[in-house]
Structure 1
Amino acid sequence: MNLSYWEIKTWLTDIDFTIVGSGIVGLNCALQLKQRFPKSKILILEKGILPQGASTKNAGFACFGSLSEIIDDLKKHSEKEVVELIKKRIKGLNMLRETLGDKAIDYQNLGGYELFLESDKALYDLCRNKQEEINRLLHPVFKSDVFTFKENNFGFKNIKPHYSFNPFEGQINTGKMMEALLCKVQSLGVKILNNITVQSFSEDSNTVNVKTNHFEINTKQLLIATNGFAQQLDIPKVKPARAQVLITKPINDLKIKGTFHLDEGYYYFRNIDNRILLGGGRHLDFKTEETVEFGQTEIIQNKLEELLKTTILPQTNFEIEHQWSGIMGVGKQKKTIVKQMSNHVFCGVRLGGMGIAIGSLVGRELADLA
């Protein structure tokens, strides 16, 4: 790139903090740093024309875990670890709402539901049997029972007649959230450069040299918030996980309202603008979906459409209007990776599909390290 003197001096010189990724984590990190160090020069490098990855691609669930997900987490984590994970998600959601305001993100507390396929008797029985145990575990956090079972009153088909209900779950408008966050950060003087891919970085005693696809810069500190793309910058223990999503055209008199989980959370859907947004299915082909490439596959898109026809909207005519995908960062553990990698390099990654819930908090934790 043939840069002018003005461009170099204004955007690319005397940088205190360079953040890689303008998603939820990166923007919240910048916000925290600017509030603490108002005179600092902060530059965010973003590979996409919009925040790439999952921050503008997700389903907008303000959730902390379904009943079956929490039961499954207890197989791999201690009770204390699971409770801490849930506390962190709640804290992150509250931080997001306080930072931007419920109106700006169109937050609606419509409750969350978990449906159980008619054929999945084992999972349904497990959740019924474990409900009271999980409620006792979470009672100190919510001061109330979290999960109850309700009768299917939305007209879903091929599921058990009762589903799990959680009154503490909400939904947001992902686009409005990211727009508000971008505006807030930029109003403080943080500079964001798009279509910039970080290729490598190296460090000396005082600075970090960052090489991109268009230029090289020096920065006092480098903070990596790329989540699903963390492996590309040699951050281990984070695997990309593509999530495919579709949305219908508007449906007259749509009665379905809330956030819904199905098949251990591998499918999820919600109402938005009189439409149904449905995503998931990566468990149908884990290996193929372990990718940083955006796109759709026939096996997953066909299954999503089948679920709409047979289970979610069995008696309603609908048309698919749009399909897309996002890239999450996952690993064997649900715990996020927020750490100092070297003297002047830090990272906040592996959000495990809970970016809305914990992204704000991880951004602050990343700023704390710096």
Structure 2
Amino acid sequence: MKLSYWEHKSWFSKVDFTIVGSGIVGINCAISLKKKYPHSNILILEKGSLPQGASTKNAGFACFGSVSEILSDLEHHSKEEVGRLVQKRWDGIQRLRSLLGDEAIGFQLHGSHELFPLEKPEFYEKCLASIPYLNGLMAPVFGQNPFVTNQNLFNFEGIQEKYITHQLEGQLDTGKMMRSLIQKCMSMDIPILNGVLVKDVFESNNQATIVTDDFEFLSKKVFVATNGFASKLIKSETVKPARAQILVTEPVKNLHVKGTFHFDEGYYYFRNIDNRILFGGGRNLDFDSEETTEFGETQIIQNKLEALLHNMILPNHPVKIERRWSGIMGVGKQKSPIVKQVSDSIFCGVRLGGMGVALGSLVGKELAELAD
């Protein structure tokens, strides 16, 4: 397809900054660029009708790392690295709340609770014993000891008698958050073009050429913010896709569950939303199959989620599933995001490691700062 004179003039000529991906990172990058360069011409390209990936498909957890997740991270990173990563997650959520306001993102601070299945008593005891050490490590980030223990307040079955609660983790409404980000973007005269698949980006005479399915154009700088799909455009960085499957129940009468919950080192997670239970995870059941950029659900994971829902979360309580979906995250051997200059005019902010809600706002800001 050839662009008309009007199309080229209105959208694709004299472009200062192009952002590929309209998720949390991409939109925050665009907002930061517009604040710093108010007269710049900024364009966001999105291949989906909605942000494709995880930004509108996540579980809406404002989380920073459970006890078991942090212990696992400490096996592969120094305590300084882990501290910096948790600090970034904390700063990212605070920036998102400050940018949009708690009401606009549906933020609620109910705390989060890590549950421990009965079949792993040694691991449970290890996590309990680590609380004083981890509180000492994390107190400088949060300004207080984040971890406390609680009894089984919600009467889940098949778990140890105590939860480990992170007092400062919360939850938000993913749809409200993304609508608010998009509205803010549009109010700043930053267009988002949906249904535009970027196939390639390369250097061309001190600027970048962007090749789409239908046409190509020039941009002074390009910021790739496609996370789990990043390897298709940024060959130099290792970002593996990781599919996350989720289900949500029909409304549950007198639902007593409130907060966010994790177990099995964060591979399973659930929460309350609109008198329903939203439950996701199970990627560890079949890592190979879930390392994909294809959306969809699998029987092995969906059956496990349903079994845990009926037997552990809502025992003896008949409930029906209303909806199932999946999202694509970007992961790697390191938990820290990749925010870097790839070439003279191409930059990337990717590999958010399943913590996009917490990290996305800050990563977008850091990505924009590379334009200096």
TM-score, with normalisation over the residues of structure 1? 0.99
Match of 1:245 in 2: 246
Match of 2:289 in 1: 288
Match of 2:18 in 1: 18
Could you tell me how far apart the structure 2 residues matched to 1:25 and 1:18 are? Answer: 13
- CA-atom RMSD in angstroms: 0.8
One-letter amino acid of the counterpart of residue 319, structure 2: F
- 1:73-222 → structure 2 map (5 Å cutoff): 73-222=73-222
Match of 1:255 in 2: 256
Percent of residue pairs identical:
57
Give the Å deviation of 1:72.
0.8
The reply to whether residue 9 of structure 1 matches residue 4 of structure 2 is no
Could you tell me how far apart the structure 1 residues matched to 2:206 and 2:77 are? Answer: 40
Give the Å deviation of 1:235.
4.3
**1:67-106 deviations in whole A, cap 9, x for unaligned?**
1001111111111111111111110000000000000001
- 1:23-38 → structure 2 map (5 Å cutoff): 23-38=23-38
Could you tell me how far apart the structure 2 residues matched to 1:143 and 1:30 are? Answer: 31
The runs of 5 or more residues in structure 2 that have no matched partner are none
Match of 2:61 in 1: 61
The runs of 5 or more residues in structure 1 that have no matched partner are none
One-letter amino acid of the counterpart of residue 142, structure 1: F
Contact map agreement 2:2 2:215 (CA 8 A) in 1: no
One-letter amino acid of the counterpart of residue 363, structure 1: G
Match of 1:314 in 2: 315
The reply to whether residue 356 of structure 1 matches residue 357 of structure 2 is yes
Give the Å deviation of 1:293.
0.3
TM-score, with normalisation over the residues of structure 2? 0.98
Could you tell me how far apart the structure 1 residues matched to 2:261 and 2:115 are? Answer: 7
Give the Å deviation of 1:204.
2.3
Give the Å deviation of 1:172.
0.2
Q: Give the secondary structure class of the aligned counterpart of 1:95.
A: helix
Runs of 4+ that moved beyond 3 A: none
Q: Give the secondary structure class of the aligned counterpart of 1:217.
A: strand
* Mean Cα deviation higher: 2-11 or 286-295: 2-11
**1:158-214 deviations in whole A, cap 9, x for unaligned?**
001111011101000000000000000111111111111111122123221111012
Give the Å deviation of 1:120.
1.2
* Mean Cα deviation higher: 199-208 or 297-306: 199-208
**1:249-273 deviations in whole A, cap 9, x for unaligned?**
0000000000000111100000000
Could you tell me how far apart the structure 2 residues matched to 1:102 and 1:43 are? Answer: 27
**1:130-174 deviations in whole A, cap 9, x for unaligned?**
111101111222232211111102010000111101110100000
Could you tell me how far apart the structure 1 residues matched to 2:201 and 2:120 are? Answer: 49
Match of 1:333 in 2: 334
Could you tell me how far apart the structure 1 residues matched to 2:301 and 2:224 are? Answer: 31
Give the Å deviation of 1:334.
0.5
Could you tell me how far apart the structure 2 residues matched to 1:369 and 1:139 are? Answer: 30
One-letter amino acid of the counterpart of residue 254, structure 2: D
Give the Å deviation of 1:318.
0.4
**1:199-234 deviations in whole A, cap 9, x for unaligned?**
112212322111101211110001100000011112
Give the Å deviation of 1:17.
0.4
Q: Give the secondary structure class of the aligned counterpart of 2:219.
A: strand
* Mean Cα deviation higher: 290-299 or 200-209: 200-209
Could you tell me how far apart the structure 2 residues matched to 1:337 and 1:166 are? Answer: 27
Could you tell me how far apart the structure 2 residues matched to 1:356 and 1:170 are? Answer: 11
Contact map agreement 2:148 2:167 (CA 8 A) in 1: no
Pairs aligned (count): 370
Could you tell me how far apart the structure 2 residues matched to 1:300 and 1:219 are? Answer: 43
Could you tell me how far apart the structure 2 residues matched to 1:141 and 1:195 are? Answer: 40
Contact map agreement 2:92 2:359 (CA 8 A) in 1: yes
One-letter amino acid of the counterpart of residue 356, structure 1: V
Give the Å deviation of 1:4.
2.2
Could you tell me how far apart the structure 1 residues matched to 2:207 and 2:269 are? Answer: 44
Q: Give the secondary structure class of the aligned counterpart of 2:75.
A: helix
